Structure 1
């Protein structure tokens, strides 16, 4: 297992994000797709978010990232979608005609955590590590 560390933390927090273009228009092709990829990379680098894998499809983007524990998934998406949208409208005037409301991305996004430990593995560890108390699930080590 490869852990990252901050000044007072050791962590491995990974998120899989998917977000789509507004109205699912297939806009992410050619130079626009390349620019989106580059902007997502730049934004993530700025906040020490490591991109482990990513794919820009015609109408959506997938990324698997490793993020510091003090950055929430909603904050990551706000930074990435906000910055990419602003920069796309600046550089690609034809996009403004298609998206006259200044919103390039659809409102929501998909996010799921990724990791090696399952819920069952954690529960098994905790059941052997602490003195069991029925009807509780939150134990104090003796």
Structure 2
């Protein structure tokens, strides 16, 4: 139905862990968030713009998008966030910057949302352990 934002090839468990100078880490999160008023706005040109914006912003912060889908009224992402970033600071950055970039790219959105508030307050987050395959399947469906 919808194409994924990014699809990553599988690795074995030893290769999945990331390294810093004194740290091995594997921090994966399932994140869901919605546009303001849960409007069904994520389609066509907005959808392609958001996918591109999310990929760029995640690359800037060193966050890996493992799986992601943009539904008409919400976003599902399975991401690997480095331990130097808290989930809340990353989400503030992702939602804030993506909203500004969307309003810059699509000026007509200001009539639907006003005041450059594209996303609703809050988000859902769940840490992903060994059930990563289950979460990926859920996001794909």
Count of equivalent residues = 117
Mark the runs of 5 or more structure 1 residues left unpaired by the alignment: 118-142
Distance 2:37 2:94 in 1: 19
Q: TM-score, normalised by structure 2?
A: 0.80
Q: TM-score, normalised by structure 1?
A: 0.79
Distance 1:8 1:82 in 2: 32
Deviation per CA, 1:27-78: give whole Å up to 9, x if none. Answer: 1111111111111111111111110000001111110011111111101111
Higher relative contact order (CA 8 A, sep 6+): 2
Query: Does residue 29 of structure 2 align to residue 18 of structure 1?
Result: no
Distance 1:114 1:97 in 2: 38
Alignment of 1:86-125 (within 5 A): 86-116=100-130
SS in 2 for 1:51: strand
Structure 1 runs of 4+ with >4 Å offset: none
